[in-house]
Amino acid sequence: MSNYYSSGKRAREANQAKKKQEKAQAREARRERGPREIPIATAEDLTGHMPSIEDAMRALENPGQERSAATIPVRLFVGSLSSSTTAGDLRNAFSAYGPVADAIVMTERETGASRGFGFVTMANRKDAPRVIEALNGADLKGSSIVVNIATERR
pTM confidence score: 0.56
- Are 56 and 62 in contact by the 8 Å Cβ rule? The answer is no
For residue 120, tell me if it sits in a domain: yes
Our count of domains for the chain comes to: 2
| 97 and 142 together in one domain | yes
Q: Which domain holds residue 93?
A: 73-149
Alpha carbon distance 55, 142 (integer Å) = 43
Condensed to tens digits (0 to 9), the pLDDT of residues 91-124 reads 999 999 999 999 999 999 999 999 999 999 998 8
Number of residues that this document lists for the chain = 154
For residue 107, tell me if it sits in a domain: yes
For residue 58, tell me if it sits in a domain: no
- Given CA atoms 14, 20, 23, 27 in this order, what sign does their dihedral have? negative
CATH number (domain holding residue 127): 3.30.70.330
| 88 and 26 together in one domain | no
Condensed to tens digits (0 to 9), the pLDDT of residues 5-49 reads 788 888 889 999 999 999 999 888 877 766 655 555 565 555 555
Alpha carbon distance 41, 51 (integer Å) = 19
| 95 and 143 together in one domain | yes
| 142 and 85 together in one domain | yes
Alpha carbon distance 29, 35 (integer Å) = 11
φ/ψ (deg, to 5) at 5: -85, 155
- Are 82 and 142 in contact by the 8 Å Cβ rule? The answer is yes
pLDDT band of residue 53 (cuts 50, 70, 90) is confident
For residue 12, tell me if it sits in a domain: yes
- Are 106 and 117 in contact by the 8 Å Cβ rule? The answer is yes
The H-or-E segment that residue 16 falls in is: helix 7-33
| 135 and 86 together in one domain | yes
